[in-house]
Structure 1
Amino acid sequence: MDSHTGGALAWLAQGAASNLLDRLVDRALDGPPPMPSWPRLGGSPPGTVEISVRHQLTIRTRTPVILTLQEDGSRTGTVFSVVLGHTTRVNLPGGDYFGAAMIVDPLGRTRSGQTLQGIGWSRLKVTSRRTSPLVIPAHHPTAPVLLQLGLRKPDGTPLFRLPRSRL
């Protein structure tokens, strides 16, 4: 994992450490999520990105995905809540981007945090006036990956619980 990947996911974790994570999960579960929008489209014609998150989970309930997009080299980004298995369309200015996804167990919310079912990331080049597919492959998280990404609350406790291993 390169420093850009780690930095982008750490940025997402900082926002998720607040109650933002709970609000995003609730938004995904409350019904069809609003159409995501990029904060500024700039002067050039935008391109469209169709974002899908893939995971080997069997979907029986609406499974929330916290998705972030960042322009290459940016220290901030935009966070969306989507549902696993759905494709999301976003208009973006042309350029290079980084997308990251965290799949959260909708039934795994406790006082000690959310249960993280999957995590993944992918890079994307957006071309003006074109539609680009972005598939983010998500994998089961491990404790070393969460530690490496800095997915911790300000007090040092883990931001997420890991699912019990399946035998």
Structure 2
Amino acid sequence: MDPHTGALAWLAQGSAANLLDRLVDRALEGPPLSPAWPRPGRAPAGTVEIAVRHHATAKGRTPVILTLQEDRGDTHTVFSAVLGHTTRVALPDGGYFGAAMVVDPDGRRLRGIGWSRLTVTARRTSPCVISSRRPTAPVMLQLGLRKADGTPLFRL
């Protein structure tokens, strides 16, 4: 597996189905809360503004599941967003890998998947745009987007 897909594979592990349902519900309920990074950094934090774009036009509030992972660490976090909206996250400065999954509001059909590297500089705001594309079955298998019983986490 490509080392850059770790953030997506991490989401698929454990109770991904329950987490997915909660994240989709949270994205559809209203304006998202400011996401929090799991641990404080040693250096002053910077801000990253993440926007997710999709190749096809989406109607209404389309939920997006964002996953952030440190480049040289094992700290991850996952949070919900809305397609086309900008999400601001305060992070310790450093390099990160961001992954986005665009899902139907019913939460069971994966419409898009994309990832990007991002660099956060202390006391600055860094923009990041993640472009998503329609996933294929081989990509889904490579990422391990399956439930514990082996069934697919999403329909294509």
* Bucket of the pairwise TM-score, normalised by the shorter protein: over 0.9
In structure 1, what is the equivalent of residue 155 of structure 2?
161
Structure 1 runs (4+) deviating above 3 angstroms are none
Letter matched to residue 58 of structure 2: I
Match of 2:17 in 1: 18
> 1:117 aligned to 111, 117, 122, which one?
111
Stretch deviating more after TM superposition (2-11 or 41-50): 2-11
Counterpart CA distance in 2 for 1:101 and 1:15 is: 18
2:3 alignment partner AA = H
Q: Distance in 2 between matches of 1:25 and 1:81?
A: 7
Q: TM-score, normalised by structure 2?
A: 0.93
Deviation, 1:7, is 2.1
Cα deviation for residue 35 of structure 1 reads 1.1
Supply the distance in 2 between the matched residues of 1:138 and 1:49 (Cα, whole angstroms). 18
Query: Which residue of 2 is the match for residue 148 of structure 1?
Result: 142
State the shift of 1:13 in Å.
1.4
Partner of 1:103, secondary structure, is strand
- Matched residues in 1 for 2:133 and 2:10: separation? 20
Question: In percent, how many aligned pairs have the same letter?
Answer: 72
- RMSD between superposed Cα atoms in Å: 1.5
- 1-side partners of 2:141 and 2:17: how far apart? 18
Distance (Å, rounded) in 2 between the aligned partners of 1:73 and 1:18: 27
2:92 aligned with 1:93, yes or no? yes
Q: 1:157 to 1:33 in 2, by over 3 A?
A: same
* Alignment length (residue pairs): 156
1:106 partner SS: coil
Deviations 1:4-46 (A, max 9, x none): 2232211011156230100000000011111112122323111
Consecutive unaligned residues of structure 1, counting only runs of 5 or more, are: 163-167
Letter aligned with residue 52 of structure 1: A
Q: Write the deviation string for residues 100-150 of structure 1: whole angstroms up to 9, x where unpaired.
A: 00000014x4xxxx1000000001111111111111110001101001111
Q: Structure 2: how far apart are the matches of 1:12 and 1:147?
A: 14
Cross-structure match for 1:77:
76
TM-score (norm 1): 0.88
* Residue ranges of structure 2 left out of the alignment (5+ in a row): none
Moved more, 63-72 or 2-11: 2-11
Which is greater in Rg? 1
Distance 1:141 1:76 in 2: 26
C-alpha separation between the residues in 1 aligned to 2:83 and 2:120?
A: 22
What's the counterpart of residue 165 of structure 1?
none
- Secondary structure of 2:109 counterpart: strand
